[in-house]
Chains A and B, each alone.
Chain A
């Protein structure tokens, strides 16, 4: 990568702003990993290749603060609000992939609503209000 100057940083920020695809985000801080986040992440990463899902972006993220329902997985698709799942074990992970990611059917019983002002990316698409 080339070193940026002042203008290029802004450009980089703007240019990376709107990647819109399906995202699967696995919470992988220490407690997420301890609770089994690693296995869930590995499962998604394998299946994405195996099932040929190039539009799906798999990401790691840090701790969401919901330690008691780790592992947490967030699924963002184009025309649905971002959905946060809690207590995701392998069984749930399989359902999330097949029902939600592939068929836009939210897996009802594992959704967690975490209302907090800044998690705007979880429910709204537009950036923070200024």
Chain B
């Protein structure tokens, strides 16, 4: 395999330095990688493997076991639809279907322009606001299917404004 080595940012190197000698550090380091990149790029995983001296195979074993770690780059706006029980009973599934319908992509996929990606999550802990979705950090509660187009439109406009 012909893969280029990447230079890790200082903040990551410093973080790894802090955790290097602690037992069971790999999950904490991977969280940091994902915080910086939005996912875990293979080249970075290889670097991490050397730095903390854990086989790449084991790192991939961990990434693929835990739902939170991602191998693909998510969209600029990550839409997480809550399918916890309260949201499910209040129609979370319909919200998901409508979203897939509007964006033309399925769950765990990203739109071609890289702007939106959809994820399903189990309970965001805002059951009082069910059904709920989160776009990056912002929570939208007590949703109706009809609200979605307008919400997405706002982000689209924001993007268009940035480009213009």
Contacts and interface: CB of A to CB of B under 8 A. Distances in A.
**Same complex origin of A and B:** yes
Contact of B124 (A30, A66, A68): A30
A31 interface: yes
Interface in A33-65: 33-35
Interface residues of B, number: 9
A66 B139 CA distance: 17
Nearest to A70: B128
Interface string B97-134: 00000000000000000000000000011111100100
B91 interface: no
A18 to B, nearest CB: 35
A66 to B, nearest CB: 8
Interface residues of A, number: 9
- Please classify the interface of chain B as helix (H, G, I), strand (E, B), loop, or mixed, using the class held by over half of its residues: loop
B141 interface: yes
A30 B128 contact: no
Contacts of B132: 34
A35 B141 CA distance: 8
Contacts of A31: 125-126, 128-129
Contacts of A66: 128
Nearest to B139: A34
Interface in B115-164: 124-129, 132, 139, 141
A67 interface: yes
Interface in A1-38: 30-31, 33-35
Contacts of B126: 30-31, 34, 67
A34 B141 CA distance: 8
Contacts of A30: 124-126, 139
Contacts of B124: 30
A67 B127 contact: yes
A37 to B, nearest CB: 11
A63 to B, nearest CB: 9
19 contacts: A30-B124, A30-B125, A30-B126, A30-B139, A31-B125, A31-B128, A31-B129, A33-B139, A34-B129, A34-B139, A35-B129, A35-B141, A66-B128, A67-B126, A67-B127, A67-B128, A67-B129, A68-B128, A70-B129
Interface of A: 30-31, 33-35, 66-68, 70
Interface of B: 124-129, 132, 139, 141
Given A33-B139, A67-B127, 10 more contacts: A30-B126, A31-B125, A31-B126, A34-B129, A34-B141, A66-B128, A67-B128, A68-B128, A70-B128, A70-B129
